[in-house]
Structure 1
């Protein structure tokens, strides 16, 4: 997905200097979403939990948009060809269908329960359009920052359909990394965890996780508690590294759906602006110029329309941002 804000904020992102959790007493930091309209008069509203001033990364996960359910016949997704550098995009749907085309020549459909992962690396362009068969559009779009040694890697596209596993009143679909005895074959450039977890009514689930990972649980629906801390839909609960287990509970009489993200703290600072991830303002400016000139990113074949123009760069160069302490720490209940 493109970040189509007309005045995107330029961010310097890095790890938050708060260390890991105290053994035996992990805390949950609650990150609220802000609503961002994507597009024009028929804009698709999305709820963005990463990046934000409180926390810019969870592992290498650096961008999290959560959208829907919306009536796709009036508010669908129409994102023209646009560029990416220095990242991987992760598309995951709960309902609907999106047609993906990219400058690698990939032409694929994004469907519920199926992972589409695109590697931008040195540069790629792609388009995303909800199909005419889509009535309700609902899902998440996530970005992963590439480490310095791999950020100029060749463009790539991978597709994977994970087999859900049942464990203690929950269905777990692991699309990246390993969890609950399931491992995704999809290649990443840093250790990562990405999984959809659906909890039955009243279910409580304790998962063994890598204590070297920090984790974020994004709630799509239901009355969910993470380590005893209540989370509302569209909120993301953050747990620092140091915990070997995570306990999720569904207090509602309906199924609850969540997305669990994780990875070891990403030690590099990155610069994010529009659809680019780089290490300096100058690199961002060069990527923007290359897109405007029609070089570097290739051509998306089969899209009927013009590519997305880049917004204007800010008048002043990037100023480093302080590493804020984080969001709200909500009392377990």
Structure 2
């Protein structure tokens, strides 16, 4: 997914390791293109990363059954994100409902479906598009996440796309889920990861309690996507995220009387400083400038060595917004 804000904020992360904190990370609404509004949980004004997870958008549920505008004129609904670039990150696409068509500049063409992981590793440069097709199911609900790549691999790892339809499952007493990335309760995902991290889609039955085992060296967050959850004294509801600091061996999670479904995200605190602007991650202002220039040149030339165009997409790629007038400078990982 693209960050389509017209004046994207610069964000920098560094890796201070926190203790066993509990805090709510408030999301903000961001409009993507003409058709999709998301709740952006990361980067957050108080905390910009959880492990190597540096970007979390939660969208939907959206009803796609009536594709008309307020005047009754047929229109576009669902996801419509034209080809756009990424650098030094992995995009992690996860759906709870619906279907999205993915195309990218390495020639991949895939459908993102519930319970199936689509992960794209940008390396030094990749472009992709995400679109709801006319035949998509009537509801769309999902999350788009970014993982920052460490400096040792961020420019040398070739751009790739991987899809996993058969991910490991975990079972607890009154709870269950799917491991997207990393390891949970002994179950390990086959998805590529370049730093120690974890991502899982978990459900707790109505009124149930889950004593979830954690890795003490990791920091974590939980994002509620259905129902309500008690985390200590906090009770996040739909679309809310709670940060759970490091140095815990487990945490008790209690579902509301209607049950709860949530994403668990975590990992070792990311120790490198990084600059995020628009769809690029770099280590300096010059990194961002070079990536933007390469993308703009690729649009004009129909592709270049760093950014190829996306085959099969019917439409124009997304131009980069203007850079800010000031130098992009580091900011702390958390306030």
**TM-score, structure 1 length as denominator?**
0.92
Secondary structure, aligned partner of 1:231: coil
Secondary structure, aligned partner of 1:284: helix
| Counterpart check, 1:274 vs 2:268 | no
Between the aligned partners of 1:226 and 1:114, the Cα distance in structure 2 is 27
| Counterpart check, 1:178 vs 2:183 | yes
Q: CA deviation at 1:189?
A: 0.6
Paired residues of 2:14 and 2:332 also in contact (CA < 8 A): no
Paired residues of 1:172 and 1:180 also in contact (CA < 8 A): no
Secondary structure, aligned partner of 2:152: helix
| Counterpart check, 1:38 vs 2:32 | yes
| Counterpart check, 1:231 vs 2:223 | no
Between the aligned partners of 2:193 and 2:149, the Cα distance in structure 1 is 9
Paired residues of 1:48 and 1:65 also in contact (CA < 8 A): yes
Between the aligned partners of 1:317 and 1:92, the Cα distance in structure 2 is 34
Paired residues of 2:12 and 2:333 also in contact (CA < 8 A): no
Between the aligned partners of 1:212 and 1:140, the Cα distance in structure 2 is 25
Between the aligned partners of 2:23 and 2:107, the Cα distance in structure 1 is 41
Q: CA 1:72 to 1:14, structure 2 compared with 1: closer, same or farther past 3 Å?
A: farther
Paired residues of 1:72 and 1:130 also in contact (CA < 8 A): no
| Counterpart check, 1:317 vs 2:327 | yes
- Mapping 1:110-259, distance limit 5 Å: 110-134=112-136, 135-152=138-155, 153-161=157-165, 162-252=167-257, 254-259=258-263
Q: CA deviation at 1:55?
A: 0.5
Q: CA deviation at 1:100?
A: 0.5
Q: CA deviation at 1:322?
A: 4.0
Secondary structure, aligned partner of 2:329: coil
Deviations 1:205-244 (A, max 9, x none): 0121111000010111212012342112211111111001
Between the aligned partners of 1:177 and 1:210, the Cα distance in structure 2 is 11
Paired residues of 2:292 and 2:320 also in contact (CA < 8 A): yes
Structure 1, unaligned runs of 5 or more: 326-333
Between the aligned partners of 1:141 and 1:246, the Cα distance in structure 2 is 25
Where in structure 1 do 4 or more consecutive aligned residues deviate above 4 Å?
none
How many correspondences in the alignment? Answer: 316
Between the aligned partners of 1:68 and 1:37, the Cα distance in structure 2 is 12
Between the aligned partners of 1:116 and 1:319, the Cα distance in structure 2 is 32
Between the aligned partners of 2:179 and 2:251, the Cα distance in structure 1 is 16
Q: CA 1:76 to 1:86, structure 2 compared with 1: closer, same or farther past 3 Å?
A: same
Map of 1:49 onto structure 2:
41
Between the aligned partners of 1:263 and 1:324, the Cα distance in structure 2 is 16
**TM-score, structure 2 length as denominator?**
0.91
Map of 2:74 onto structure 1:
none
Paired residues of 2:275 and 2:330 also in contact (CA < 8 A): no
Q: CA deviation at 1:323?
A: 4.8
Map of 1:329 onto structure 2:
none
Structure 2, unaligned runs of 5 or more: 68-76, 299-303
Paired residues of 2:168 and 2:189 also in contact (CA < 8 A): no
Paired residues of 1:160 and 1:175 also in contact (CA < 8 A): no
Of stretches 109-118 and 133-142 in structure 1, the one that deviates more from structure 2 is 133-142
Deviations 1:2-60 (A, max 9, x none): 11111111122223x4x432xxxx331110100001012xx311000100220011000
RMSD: 1.3
